[in-house]
Structure 1
Amino acid sequence: MTDQPPYLVQLGDAQTKVVKPLFDALPAGWREATVEYRKAGSVAESKVVVTTDDGQADIVKSPIDMIRAFKELREYMASQGNGAWLSVTLTAKPDGKCSFDYNYNELPNWTVQPTDETYIEDLSKYPRPADQIPAWYPRAI
């Protein structure tokens, strides 16, 4: 028997660690926040778009504690043996409702595309079963 909480409890805790610094950093009058986070190897990108009550969408600075928490969340989820997700979209509402949409298979919409070596490094750190590696994913030669 283990003293560890069940996976879903730990996952919820890890997601809360992502959301809390986001909520702390959002400006007054926001209606929705959408976060795009991408990671492969040592390369990561984050973008936070806030929609205000008047319907305007603005990009705001990504909180560093949120970025750290995303990295930890990715590592935790990858430890379950299915490889790591490549990107996630977090949608948050002022009432506290949040959704996470994880992308394991599609090429992320990078601002600056990582090198093949970066993807290979990521796959080495977070292996996947061969049948779960997308066709576009670079392979080691």
Structure 2
Amino acid sequence: MTESTSLDPDEQNELIQSVGRSLVREMPDDWQSISFTFNSLVGVDTASILMSREKGGMEPAMPSMKAMEIMEELRSGMYQPGKGAWFVARYELARSGRYSVDFDYDSEPEFEFPIAPSSYAEDLEYFPRDDQNVPLWLRQKLDEVQNG
């Protein structure tokens, strides 16, 4: 876990572009598009990539550790007091260089393994949210910790 440091929009954009460069370095020469999903809580991250190739179809690929590290830094740096930190980032990248990134502050992250409710409480402690910005699914996780 790193200390939360706010990033300005230019710094955020530079990190987003760094993620794209890192992803592309790991792709085969004939890649056409990349769909990268990053799910995160403090101390828990998972990522998945679906890549299309010239011959067609989508296939999984492995994200680089560098891309994962940059996404962790981006999440921490994009924390907004009261709003919190995003849980899921979706990065779409085309061979032409066009890209889009969606940062989801409200949806439950989808991990490939069970996550203890206390991990969600730790995330909220590290990235506090105003009460109106705590989604229902997160309230339920926090209730599990309290009633646990």
| TM-score (normalised: structure 1) | 0.89
Gaps of 5+ in 2: 1-6
* 1:75–1:118 distance in 2 versus 1, CA, 3 Å: same
Q: Which segment drifts farther, 50-59 or 84-93?
A: 50-59
Indicate the RMSD between aligned Cα atoms, in angstroms: 1.4
Gaps of 5+ in 1: 1-5
| Aligned position for 2:132 | 131
| Aligned position for 1:116 | 117
Residue by residue over 1:101-122, the C-alpha shift from the partner in whole angstroms, topping out at 9 and shown as x without a partner, is 1111111222113111000000
CA contact 1:34–1:48 (8 Å) conserved in 2:
yes
Q: Which runs of 4+ in 1 moved over 3 A?
A: none
- What is the identity percentage for the equivalent residue pairs of Structure 1 and Structure 2? 20
Post-superposition offset of 1:70: 0.4
| TM-score (normalised: structure 2) | 0.85
SS at match of 1:36: strand
Counterparts of 2:57 and 2:104 in 1: how far apart (Å)? Answer: 27
Q: Which segment drifts farther, 123-132 or 23-32?
A: 23-32
Post-superposition offset of 1:41: 2.2
